[in-house]
Amino acid sequence: MLVVRPISITDYPALHGLAVESGHGFTSLPVNEALLQQKIARSVAAFQTIPSQATDSSYLFVLEDTQSQKVVGISGIEGAVGLADSFYHYHLSKVVHASRRLKVYNEVELLTLCNDYTGQTEICTLFLLADYRKAYAGKLLSKVRFLFMAEHRQGFAQRVFAEMRGVSDDKGQSPFWQWLEKHFFTLDFPTADYLSGIGQKEFISELMPKYPIYVNLLSADAQAVIGKVHDKTQPALALLEKEGFRWRGYVDIFDGGPTVENELENINSIKQSRKLSVEIAEPQSNKVILVCNTKFSDFRALVVESEVDSVSQKIRLSAAQADYLLVKPDDSVRVLTIA
């Protein structure tokens, strides 16, 4: 059985293994012991107190295979970004250069450095080991964050966004960054990405061009990847698009990958989820349902094949499923039908 739970201090070896597997360009999981330990500590602290408003709390969830007792995936939520340090994006916009007298009209795209997502909620750090990218494991890791936010809405901003990994090759070279590196940074992409990931972001404000960049001045390769995602990120993007997330022209400052967003109340999994009570009985249906308890520090979630009694407003769970969810008969759970 695959169960989602908050990360714990003892999960460091597993988190380090996931960071190594994630590869270049996965900024939120740098291979750095001090930072990974810090990420775990921040999350453990965040799960101690139920928030009354959006703060810079960081929540990390791990997916555990209960049979092997192995952590096989991770996903996270940042309650509000940019409150402790600057949070940068480029925004893609247009400017028109026109002369009616000369009959010249040119639309030109600009990239402008901004901090527009300051104070907003970020969903992040979604990674699943390759052997588990099947059945409903990916959906569980992605959607569970929305059910957690639905249950504890006061702790999150109205605007929710996700940074998608942009295009880079197996050696970690990004066409977008190569142009910036040549003209402004003299730092290769893996180094810049790593420094940002471990929180050393001063070089961005020190070296990043202060004025808007005309996109047509970038190399053809750099222009081609603006707003595009890494091949391995396509499934994650597809899941978010089904949730109603859309690209509004914001891109990552390192690899040009798109940032997608949605309003909290308009996220499909939140709109479609509902509260039911628990009945302990062997399910007799093959309807696939994501179930989470309503707890905070003891949050748990899993995917079950079960049924819902629309009259009694109950969901049937086996005794084992109820144990993993830490619930008893008549306890409340939040459910989302996914197939």
Percentage helix, strand, coil, to 5, in the chain? 30, 30, 35
Total-model pTM: 0.90
pLDDT in tens, 41-82: 999 999 999 999 999 999 999 999 999 999 999 999 999 999
Q: Identify residue 58 by its one-letter amino acid code.
A: S
State how far the Cα of 314 lies from the Cα of 316, in Å rounded to an integer: 7
pLDDT of 207 > 80? The answer is no
- DSSP for 26-88 reads -TTS-S-HHHHHHHHHHHHHHTTS--SS--S-EEEEEEEETTTTEEEEEEEEESSSSSSS---
pLDDT score for 285: 78
pLDDT score for 173: 82
* Percent of the chain whose pLDDT exceeds 70: 95
SS3 3: strand
pLDDT of 337 > 90? The answer is yes
SS3 236: helix
Confirm if 199 and 302 have CB atoms less than 8 A apart: no
230 an active-site residue? yes
Question: For the stretch 172-191, what's the b/e string if a residue is b when 16 or more beta carbons lie within 10 angstroms of its beta carbon?
Answer: bbbbbbbbbbeeebebbbbe
pLDDT score for 210: 79
- Give φ, ψ of 226 to 5 degrees: -65, 125
State how far the Cα of 30 lies from the Cα of 198, in Å rounded to an integer: 7
Q: Residue 219's pLDDT band (boundaries 50, 70, 90)?
A: very high
pLDDT score for 25: 60
**Given 89, 91, 97, 230, the catalytic residue:** 230
Q: Residue 96's pLDDT band (boundaries 50, 70, 90)?
A: very high
Q: What is the CATH number of domain 273-337?
A: 2.40.40.20
- DSSP for 169-210 reads -TT---HHHHHHIIIII---HHHHHHHHHTT--HHHHHHS-S
pLDDT in tens, 104-148: 999 999 999 999 999 999 999 999 999 999 889 999 999 999 999
pLDDT of 198 > 80? The answer is no
pLDDT score for 201: 66
State how far the Cα of 146 lies from the Cα of 132, in Å rounded to an integer: 21
Residue-averaged pLDDT of the chain: 91
pLDDT score for 199: 63
pLDDT of 24 > 90? The answer is no
pLDDT score for 339: 81
Please compute the mean of the pLDDT values over residues 165-192 and round it to a whole number.
Answer: 81
pLDDT of 171 > 90? The answer is no
Lowest average pLDDT, out of 69-83, 180-194, 216-230, goes to 180-194
249 or 181, higher pLDDT: 249
pLDDT in tens, 247-291: 999 999 889 999 999 999 999 999 999 999 999 998 877 799 999
Instruction: Tokens for 118, please give them.
Output: 């300051």
**Beta-carbon neighbour count of residue 120 at 10 Å?**
21
pLDDT score for 193: 67
State how far the Cα of 276 lies from the Cα of 150, in Å rounded to an integer: 14
pLDDT in tens, 123-132: 999 999 999 9
State how far the Cα of 167 lies from the Cα of 213, in Å rounded to an integer: 19
Report which of 70, 49, 51, 73 is spatially closest to residue 60, judged by C-alpha positions. 73
pLDDT of 186 > 90? The answer is no
Domain residue ranges of the chain, discontinuous segments joined by +: 79-89+115-269, 273-337
As a dihedral over the C-alpha atoms of residue 156, residue 31, residue 34, residue 11, rounded to 10 degrees, the angle is: 70
pLDDT of 312 > 70? The answer is yes
